[in-house]
Amino acid sequence: MSLIAPYFISILLSFPLVQPSDGWLQWVYKFPNKATCEEFLEQQHESLYLNVTRAFITMPHEIVEFRCMTIEEGVEKNKALGHREPNIPRPNTPNSPKI
């Protein structure tokens, strides 16, 4: 768990027609800490559930769980489910070499 990394609402979805069938998706809006994320999730759970259902209306799916996680936690959870590690862009720092 990170004290400085932002948290994201993360949704565990199950898609029976693809492999691996389960995977964590993360909402693009970031929260400064886990408590703020969890408070928002508690208040907006029903709305988020409906929006995710609508977004995947054409695909058979099950919403398994909502949770607040950092990007790194989401990557680790997806790797444990059999997904490859994504290529997450890192910010360009002034001292990094240009390729």
Query: From the first residue on, what is the mean pLDDT of each consecutive set of 10 residues in the chain (99 residues)?
Result: 80 85 90 97 96 91 95 91 74 55
Check residue 91 and give its pLDDT: 59
Check residue 19 and give its pLDDT: 76
Q: What is the distance between the alpha carbons of residues 60 and 70, in angstroms, rounded to a whole number?
A: 27
Check residue 32 and give its pLDDT: 96
Residues 43, 28: contact at Cβ < 8 Å?
no
Q: What are phi and psi of 53, to 5 degrees?
A: -60, -45
Check residue 52 and give its pLDDT: 94
Residues 80, 23: contact at Cβ < 8 Å?
no
The DSSP output letter for 36 is: H
pTM of the model: 0.75
Question: Could you give the angle at the alpha carbon of 51 between the alpha carbons of 1 and 67, nearest 5°?
Answer: 15
Check residue 98 and give its pLDDT: 54
